[in-house]
Amino acid sequence: MPVADVDCPVRRAVGVLGSKWALLVVRDLLDGPRRFSELQSSIEGISAKVLADRVRELEAAGVLRRTVIADMPVRVEYELTDLGHELEPVVAALGAWGRQLAASGAGAR
């Protein structure tokens, strides 16, 4: 398969999930809806601007939905769509692989 194949499904998936922090946003939303501040505090090192960019990208890709709740003050919650929930086995597999990587001493940061 040519590297430049724009129809490559892996390339398409990486186009949605390959941005730094995107998979961690998905990981956290697998547990249920979260507010912006909850996401930011659960993902160590992410800035508010970058998180805002990631949730916009994931929303545009149909992975999550943003819901405005008309309380006082207004609240915004993010939750995975059905498409986003389909990523659960992907996140689980990456977690398992990450644990193996840590146990082997490889990939230490």
Q: Using CA atoms, how far apart are residues 63 and 88, in angstroms rounded to an integer?
A: 12
How much is the pTM? Answer: 0.87
The answer to the question of residue 108 being in a domain is no
The domain that holds 45 is classified in CATH as 1.10.10.10
Residue at 46 is within a domain = yes
pLDDT tens profile 2-19:
566 778 998 999 999 999
Answer whether residue 2 is part of any domain. Answer: no
Domains in the chain, number: 1
Per residue in 81-105, pLDDT tens? Answer: 999 999 999 999 999 999 999 998 8
DSSP states along 38-73 = HHHHHSTT--HHHHHHHHHHHHHTTSEEEEEE-SSS
Residue 88 forms part of a structural domain: yes
Residue 49 lies in a domain: yes
d(CA 58, CA 3): 24
The answer to the question of residue 57 being in a domain is yes
Query: In which domain, by residue range, is 39 found?
Result: 9-102
Contact in structure between 80 and 63 (CB atoms under 8 Å):
yes
Question: Does any domain span residue 3?
Answer: no
